[in-house]
A and B are shown apart, each in its own frame.
Chain A
Amino acid sequence: MKDKRETAAFAEVNCQRLGALAGLTTSADAPAPAAEQWGEIERRLDRRWGGLSLQRSWPALAVSALAILCVGGWLAARRPLGYSVEGCTLVADGVFATAANREGVVAFADGSRMSIEKGGRFRLDMLPFGHGGEINIDDGEARLAVVHRAGARWAVLAGPFRIDVTGTRFGVRWARQQGRFHIAMLEGEVLVAGGAIPPSTHLRAGQTLSADLSVSSFAIADEHSSSAEAPHAGATGAALPAEKIHLDSTGQRGSRLMTVPPRKHSAMVAHIENPVAVGAVPRSGEATPHLAPSAPSEPASAESPAAPMSPQLLPPSPFAAAPTETPPPTALKPVGVHVFFGEGGQLGHGLTGDTWVAGGEGTTFSTPASWDDRTHLRPEAGLLCTSGTVAGLSCVNEGTPRILCNWDRNWGVAIGWNTRADLKAWGDEAMGAIAVEFRGRSASYRLNAHLKGDPSERIYCIENYKSGQVVRPSMFKSECWFDKGDTLADFTRVDLFNLQSSSGASYVAFRYCISGITLYP
């Protein structure tokens, strides 16, 4: 027994000696990891960040190719939903405006309809494959009748609010300047979210929802019950009186008709069919030309462009009897103030400064197109967006702890805003916390703050900032990249914030939009 144990121990010792011998094979002459090795890794990362190696994963590639063929064939059979537009002026790609004296109507190929009140402005983003799309109401009132269809995805966006639709009829009104949002349900159900409204707030036929960004409140009323329904837990909206909904019929729409076939997302103008009936597509700012009545189109179907309007299918304005201005809920305790983005980039509701975009020397902007190093960033459809590319960093001493790169010049891109129009510190108006909602490409974002009077090189920041994250002054650190340093006591001395997307080791394309800034006491 003892011999057995000794033999095992000796065998173990032999293995240890062999292991030490193997250890000798790594001599000091072995080449150190070279910087070009990282370059090759990064190149291959770019090629297969999704994870497939062409050389070694051919079985997976073969299966994937087969799957792609199948899915591709299936997708090829699906096209974006076509639509026709009447009484609207095309002011930008996918963006329409109704005239000041008449309403516009959109008829989708599946029979869904939307009418926009005069003076309205909206954007259509149809799903490139599949059924449905996003209707972004920039300003004004719309009535929708969405035909229920399995697999369809429809959403209506209005400022920070989102309505997910299946099959239903409802009216929606968005007053951008006042930050007021109103929806009145006629049929079916929708899910509403945004602002103070909790995600997936359910609205059914007969209910109305009013929200006011300026006081961060919302209220739901039900015409079928005498008392208003309290909103979801956590919301502080007071009840509004139930609104009376009139079901008036609507008259015949005007004669202008633009028939738009299924299209790719960004190529709408080039695909307009039947130019004789349609006429020239109006450019941005042009008045809608008078056109002769169009020839009758074929009935709407899922595969063909939409037929002329069937106004009877459209819901009448549910706001006909509603007061022009939604009475602000009273006795509310605001949970947050949503900052208003003015057309020229001026902020309102809690902040008075301007919005802007800035980039390092390696940054090239696609959006805004007219960026000239010191330009306001104007919102489009309620979003502050920027896109472009950032050159890769140039570094020395790569692969060593003493690596040095040109971070100070090629620092990336930032969307920023001053807290006050006079560029002074925020002062007594300062709030206790801030949240920035944004969306964009996957990247590491940093929220920065600067104090009035501090040296320009000193900032306070939050690394890896996530959209909607509510942050207080104590969370901003002077060395956030090391998660240490001084913290802010409050925001009273802050004169600007910005949301930064940093440069990286290689060339990168960026695109991100700020959709909302919320201030909290």
Chain B
Amino acid sequence: MEVALSTMVVSPQLDQAAASAPDSSDAGLVRAARAGDRRACFAIWSKYATLVQRLVWRFLGPGPDYADVCQEVFLRLFKRLDELREPAALQGFVVSVTLGVARNESRRRRIRAIVGLVPEDVLPAAPGLPAQDEAREAARALYQLLGTLSAEDRSLFVARFVEKMELTEVAAAHDISVSTAKRRLARLVERVNARLKSSPVLMEYVGPLGQGRDP
């Protein structure tokens, strides 16, 4: 049986309906992604890929496999979306997941370095390092220093001193209380400064304690 008009009417309306993107707010994207809408997943990736890439880059240093880590971040993010209690807080959740994946990657690299598969935290020639030789050397030294820290300390360092997060944000990203974050950061600062003394390049870069120059 033919339908004379009904389906002739529907297509243009559906065209318009389908032409729309999902609700572009974080909450709307989360709700749609939870419902299985791949467009929403894509929109989340579009929105936060740069942030994730920057965080991973800063955490692990420029390297050949950072893209794989970024992919892993989003795979884990989409898998864990149901754990996000407040859909509007997507950005904080993205940061938290990214740091978690980066910590795991850091541990994995350390294990691989121990068993001799790859050298630990050796920066390959890659774009993304400062152009000046002095800064480039300092950056290499910094990542060597960070490589001696635990994954947790490294994560705290990136969140607090590289991303310049507030204390509350650091705590939220690491799923710890503010007071715990404060304590750990204090210990981290001590450790970094203790190891800083053994790096002439970094000492030269930051200058005498408390009198360093701006990078």
Task: Give the B-binding residues of A (Cβ under 8 A).
Answer: 6-27, 29-33, 37-38, 40-42, 44-45, 48-49, 51, 53, 344-345, 353-354, 356, 358, 360, 373-376, 393, 398-401, 403, 407-412, 414, 416, 418, 423, 441-444, 446, 448, 450, 456-459, 461, 463-464, 479-483, 495-496, 498, 500, 502-506, 508
Contact = CB atoms under 8 A, between A and B. Distances in A.
Interface of B is mostly: helix
B125 interface: no
Nearest to B161: A19
A418 B18 CA distance: 20
A45 B41 contact: yes
Given A33-B70, A414-B10, A25 B17 contact: no
A90 B42 CA distance: 47
Given A26-B57, A32-B50, A45-B75, A21 B138 contact: yes
12 contacts: A11-B209, A17-B215, A19-B164, A20-B161, A24-B130, A37-B67, A38-B46, A376-B1, A416-B6, A464-B32, A505-B39, A506-B38
Contact of A30 (B39, B46, B53, B189): B53
B10 to A, nearest CB: 5
Nearest to A357: B7
Contacts of B212: 13-14, 17
B198 interface: no
Nearest to B33: A444
Nearest to B159: A19
Contacts of A503: 18
B28 interface: yes
Interface string B144-188: 011000000000011011101000000000000000000000101
A20 B186 CA distance: 18
Given A22-B58, A443-B35, A463-B32, 13 more contacts: A14-B206, A18-B192, A22-B143, A24-B130, A30-B128, A41-B71, A360-B15, A398-B42, A444-B32, A459-B17, A482-B23, A504-B38, A505-B38
A398 B41 CA distance: 13
B17 A15 contact: no
Contacts of A374: 2-3, 7-8
A66 B4 CA distance: 57
Contact of B15 (A6, A44, A353, A409): A409
A15 B161 contact: yes
Interface string B45-60: 1100110011001100
Given A33-B53, A374-B2, A443-B37, A399 B16 contact: no
B124 interface: no
B5 A423 contact: yes
A244 B210 CA distance: 97
Contacts of B162: 19-20, 22-23
Nearest to A38: B45
B128 A26 contact: yes
Shortest 9 CB-CB contacts between residues of A and residues of B: A19-B161, A411-B18, A10-B210, A33-B49, A504-B38, A481-B20, A456-B12, A444-B37, A407-B19
